[in-house]
Amino acid sequence: MQSTLRRAGGFAVVGTLALAAPVLKAATFAPFVAIALLAAFVVTDGPLFEVFARPGDHQDGRLNGLAGFALAAAGLAILVVAVDMPVSLFVAAVLVLSYGNLGKQCVAAVSDDPFLGTSGFVVGGFLGGVLGQVGVATATMLPTAYPLFVFLASAGAIVAALFREMLFERDDPLVMLSTGLLLWSFDALSGAIGTVEIAAALALTVAFGLVSYVLKAASVSGMLSGVLLSLLVTVFGGFGWFAVLMSFFAIGALSTKFRYDEKLDRGVAEDNDGARGTRNVFGNAAVALASVIGFAASAHTAVDGMLFQYAFAGSMAAALSDTLSSEIGGLYDNPRLITTLERVDPGTDGGVTWQGELAGLVGSAIVAAIAAFLLSGVTGLLGGAVVLLGGLAGMTVDSFLGATVEGARIGNEAVNFSATLVGAAISTGAAFVLF
């Protein structure tokens, strides 16, 4: 057995101790603290050391990785007692990471494909998360809410896989703590989830991930980011929200691939063969994610959820409008700087063409039409026009920032975020006044 697979199995065994939480209750942290102490001061060599040792542990003569893992689990266990974090979420977070790492190493033993390795992590983490929640519900004789368990395990596995993709193996404690806290937030925001609803949501998000991989429209981390967004948007918002989000991802990806070789020759093509990374995904969709979370939270407050629908649609209209403006406009000569109207080279930040502006208008109109038909709060032609306005405003702000501050002061992702924020603000403000 490979050392990495053996080590992942050992960590999974340690993580499984979390299932004792319903019995140990306030003392749940104790086994993990004991393991951390053993790893740091007692087990310094021998067969057990070799099972858990990561490369750097041999130099230090102690199991730093295992100690950090156990202390992170102990920290989450303390939250269960100190601030009433649900026991099931503590167990799910520990098992998602434990069995996610095991699943990834099982795949790595037969394939070095990064997508397959990440898929192994997600599947292993998902199974661990579901079984952990079911185990706690059984031990405490609470109802087994399978649709909710499936959603939380799916979200937790994707979140943990995304963090693992962005961080190092030694950062597992940070991954575990972050996953646990996010699962707690997701649980608080989620309402009643039906079996058909979660099955459809998972089918759509898995299909989106596979298509992104096959078409090479996103890197592995970018794919995970998009899948996580899709799942949260579908569960917290609904299938209409998913359709709006997909209008950006699908049309934006196709426009990036459109005449890519020609864009490459002109020096205006996206890097990495047009594959979008995590920063690009969240630069364009962070405002949308905040909007859907706000919409879910509005059920517990006096804030009108309609406003979050306009914020979501306006941000997506701005994102697609800007993407089409850049991808289509970059194929044409004689762009003009938006601030002075002087001619500039193709690909110059802030340079616009009438063809690109027209493409941006079409992109914003597509999102507006989908929102008007499928989002309950976006009402009729006037509602669609409000979304269209937000999209065009965001596209214009993106060009203006590109001409004035992009590059020297802020990067492209920050500019994209600003544009989508303006799109959301304009659409929300207009909706608040008109409706």
User: What is the C-alpha to C-alpha distance for residues 41 and 312, in angstroms, rounded to an integer?
Assistant: 52
pLDDT at 335: 87
Judgement on whether residues 13 and 90 belong to the same structural domain of the protein:
yes
Say yes or no: 263 and 346 in one domain.
yes
Q: How far apart are the C-alpha atoms of 319 and 339, rounded to whole Å?
A: 21
List, in sequence order, every residue forming a beta bridge with 337; answer none if it has no partner: 351
Reported as a single tens digit per residue, the pLDDT across 116-157 is 999 999 999 999 999 999 999 999 998 889 999 999 999 999
- Provide mean pLDDT across the span 25-54: 93
Is there a contact between 376 and 307 (Cβ–Cβ < 8 Å)? Answer: no
**Confidence at 273, pLDDT banded by 50, 70, 90:** low
For residue 72, pLDDT beyond 90? yes
Q: Check if the beta carbon of residue 61 is closer than 8 Å to that of residue 100.
A: no
CB 96 within 8 A of CB 128: yes
Same domain? For 41 and 165 the reply is yes
| Structure confidence at residue 150 (pLDDT) | 96
Chain segment 192-220, per-residue pLDDT in tens: 888 999 999 999 988 888 888 787 777 88
Asked whether residue 1 carries a pLDDT value surpassing 60, the answer given is: no
Q: Which domain holds residue 218?
A: 194-434
Integer Cα distance of 207 and 202 in angstroms: 8
- Dist CA 164 CA 146 (whole Å): 26
Higher-pLDDT residue of 370, 344 = 370
What domain count does the chain have? 2
Query: Which two three-digit tokens encode residue 370?
Result: 């989908």
430 has a pLDDT exceeding 90: yes
Of the three residues 192, 227, 252, the one that is the final residue of a domain is 192
Indicate whether 125 and 8 sit together in one domain. Answer: yes
Q: What is this structure's pTM?
A: 0.93
Domain shared by 246 and 142, yes or no = no
Average pLDDT (255-259) is 82
- How many Cα neighbours within 13 Å face the side chain of 181? 9
- For tokens 């031990």, the residue is 139
Query: Same domain for 128 and 211?
Result: no
Number of residues that this document lists for the chain: 435
The answer to whether the CB of 208 falls within 8 A of the CB of 227 is yes
| Residues 6+ positions from 208 with CB-CB distance below 8 Å | 226, 227, 230, 246, 249
Confidence band of 269 (pLDDT split at 50, 70, 90): low
Let me know if 290 is exposed, middle or buried by CB neighbors in 10 A (0-12, 13-18, 19+).
middle
Query: Does residue 12 sit in the same domain as residue 27?
Result: yes
CB 237 within 8 A of CB 312: yes
Residues 11 and 37 in one domain: yes
- pLDDT grade, residue 99 (50/70/90)? very high
- Mark whether 233 and 373 lie in a shared domain: yes
Task: Please check the confidence at residue 275 and state whether its pLDDT lies above 70.
Answer: no
Instruction: Report d(CA 400, CA 349) in Å as an integer.
Output: 9
Distance CA 238, CA 387 (A): 18
Same domain flag for 154 and 269: no
DSSP 174-228: HHHHHHHHHHHHHHHH-----HHHHHHHHHHHHHHHHHHHHTT-B-HHHHHHHHH
CA distance 61 to 293: 45
Q: Which residues contact 87 (CB under 8 A, 6 or more apart)?
A: 21, 22, 28, 80, 136, 140
Token output for 210: 């596979």
Q: Are residues 185 and 217 in the same domain?
A: no
Domain termination site, one of 162, 192, 222: 192
DSSP one-letter string for 294-347: HHHHHTTSSS-HHHHHHHHHHHHHHHHHHHHHHHHHTTSS--EETTT--B--TT
Question: What mean pLDDT is reported for the chain?
Answer: 90
| CA distances to 10, 248, 401, 407, 416 from 344, in Å | 60, 28, 16, 16, 21
Residue at a domain's end among 167, 192, 217:
192
Same domain, 290 and 207: yes
